[in-house]
Chain A
């Protein structure tokens, strides 16, 4: 699907209609320095909501931007389930931000360029490109529908003018090329201006077609489709630091692909037991080391992480390192096994540490120490006594992601009630913030939130029982070099920025 907005059109439109977003709302409120301030103070840059397909069709030319951030949309919920954001990812420079949703759509946002006139406008992200990445499919052999939900998006490092990203659903990985076109050839000999063929008899002179500028067009084309390699549901993809290969992981297997070859892949991990009755764990996430192209890790549903070296053997069933923390017997409960399942694993930018997220905690591991993590952070320990209810409403199966900041000093993860948490590894301070519509004034400073566990509830605190478990922040992303974060709350994408930035 080709989107044809002009860049200038975006900006003008933003000036006219998105005024309230651009200008600061007077002097910011003084920051309350109560406990858990964490990382400075955060302000809302913009809240983005891409309309549904239905709206797109009815709008014809003036496509997305008009309705984005419009209070009209804010009040009327056009959100359908297909709009629920399922993955968020900055590219390597942070200029682009990609989101995937349950409807199989990928929306790419681009950062507003800095300009002297509108210094305060910098940091806003606007829609750059929208395309339908995956469609629902049907597996005839198994009589199963294959969801089009985008599970993961991973950017490739930029090597020319075009941008490349990988997007995957449960079964198929696709390589997309996103490129700009701002020139158009004019003056063909055999075709007229509308593209109709001219009668050769009428051609009396020859001319050389010239390139003339046109309105900026951003188009996305699928360059490769990597299909039919996974029996189970793909949960992760990771681009290798050699930029030639990438891996895709499902519940039981991990495959290594070359970007150029779509009809073959190497199986590098296979934990499927010969007898499926003996199945005890599945792969939940996998990632390549950021610098060593031979190293990768994968996490399991049992709370363990395995580091593998592809130089050791073709099939990396035997791990090089095995990270597992012995279980605390005092915490043993009915649902211990479920909550110890790791939902996300991420290498630090330095490559020295890995971070894992299970249901209640985030842990940082040193690659050189396998027997326990070096840091453990409680995300929402007050839920430990509520596991039974969370099992009933299926929340206990939620897969939260976690992210590092650019300098690996702060880690962030989501929680319920649209809360998300940041932990500063150096100062050991943490903060809970909320991504909510009520606090959606532009440039508004986010107030730290606090959950009251028991006893007396102070003002501004929320009790555990009034948390909204349908509002969960599963996907977040941190700009690679600046303090800008993207937080996905259902169908809304919030972009926050550090005030000092």
Chain B
């Protein structure tokens, strides 16, 4: 639990730093943003693994909502409904394999027909997020919609980040994570990490 809290705190801190680095003179620093995203990823994985352990001890009874990590276009609504039982199942099994499989599936869609397909889904997600009440604990996902909208994204991102902060601060971690990409020793798998790619995209957008 402590570990979870700590990881979440670091994730929040990282996003805050990233947000603030935009305001710095000289603009966004690529190296700093990369480092922040690395820490965010580590925190996220730590958080997820802590969560997995925690859920091992108790039965997952709360209705789980899978935070929209998937870049699959136009499937957000269905994804969520499907993902929750899938996530719970994955967590309960506590095995990395389905996680990897799940991730691979998603990443393959990421590599096919990337941008055009992503844009509509991001827009949909942004609207959906604005409507949705309970915030996911997956803060980096907030960055998903804005980067694709490049130029006009700044005010949106600010708003979204603010909301996500307040969401995080007000709520504890109610939503379980998606099947986490297992932490590989080699960075080779990094390209397949949708969260990191999203973060980097956010970085590049600036």
* A397 touching B190, Cβ below 8 Å: no
A248 contacts the other chain (CB 8 A): no
A301 to B203 alpha-carbon distance, docked (Å): 16
Count of residues in B whose CB is under 8 Å from the partner chain:
28
Residues of chain A contacted by B204 (CB below 8 angstroms): 276-277
SS of A interface (majority)? loop
In angstroms, how far is the closest chain B Cβ from the Cβ of A498? 36
A237 contacts the other chain (CB 8 A): no
A281 to B191 alpha-carbon distance, docked (Å): 12
A334 to B44 alpha-carbon distance, docked (Å): 11
A338 contacts the other chain (CB 8 A): yes
Residues of chain B contacted by A275 (CB below 8 angstroms): 191
* A147 touching B13, Cβ below 8 Å: no
* A391 touching B34, Cβ below 8 Å: no
* B46 touching A334, Cβ below 8 Å: yes
User: Hey, what's the 0/1 contact readout for A60-73 against B, CB within 8 Å counting as 1?
Assistant: 00000000000000
* A388 touching B10, Cβ below 8 Å: yes
Of residues 128 to 171 in B, which have CB atoms within 8 Å of A's CB atoms?
A: none
Known A145-B26, A232-B30: A338·B39 in contact at CB below 8 Å: yes
* A391 touching B13, Cβ below 8 Å: yes
B109 contacts the other chain (CB 8 A): no
SS of B interface (majority)? helix
B95 contacts the other chain (CB 8 A): no
Selected contact of A233 from candidates B10, B13, B30, CB within 8 Å: B30
Known A335-B39, A337-B35, A337-B38: A170·B197 in contact at CB below 8 Å: no
* A282 touching B34, Cβ below 8 Å: yes
Selected contact of A301 from candidates B6, B17, B31, B191, CB within 8 Å: B31
Known A276-B200, A277-B200, A334-B46: A142·B27 in contact at CB below 8 Å: yes
In angstroms, how far is the closest chain A Cβ from the Cβ of B26? 4
* B200 touching A145, Cβ below 8 Å: no
* A233 touching B191, Cβ below 8 Å: no
B201 contacts the other chain (CB 8 A): yes
In angstroms, how far is the closest chain B Cβ from the Cβ of A322? 15
In angstroms, how far is the closest chain A Cβ from the Cβ of B113? 14
Instruction: Select the residue from A142, A144, A279, A282 with max chain B CB neighbours within 10 A.
Output: A279
A302 to B23 alpha-carbon distance, docked (Å): 26
* B26 touching A146, Cβ below 8 Å: yes
Selected contact of A279 from candidates B10, B29, B200, CB within 8 Å: B200
Residues of chain B contacted by A335 (CB below 8 angstroms): 39, 42
Of residues 17 to 57 in B, which have CB atoms within 8 Å of A's CB atoms?
A: 17, 25-27, 29-32, 34-35, 38-39, 42-43, 46
Known A391-B10, A391-B13: A233·B29 in contact at CB below 8 Å: yes
A339 to B38 alpha-carbon distance, docked (Å): 12
In angstroms, how far is the closest chain B Cβ from the Cβ of A282? 5
Interface positions of A (Cβ within 8 A of B): 139, 142, 144-147, 149, 170, 232-233, 251-252, 275-282, 284, 301-302, 334-335, 337-338, 341, 388, 391-392, 394, 397
A-B contact pairs, 24 of them (CB 8 A): A144-B27, A145-B26, A147-B25, A275-B191, A277-B197, A277-B198, A277-B201, A278-B190, A278-B197, A279-B34, A280-B190, A282-B34, A284-B31, A301-B34, A301-B35, A302-B187, A334-B10, A337-B38, A338-B39, A341-B35, A388-B6, A391-B13, A391-B39, A392-B13
* Shortest Cβ-Cβ A-B pairs, 5 listed: A277-B197, A144-B27, A147-B26, A278-B191, A276-B204
* 7 further A-B pairs in the complex, CB-CB below 8 A; given A276-B203, A397-B35: A145-B27, A276-B200, A278-B190, A279-B30, A338-B38, A388-B10, A391-B39
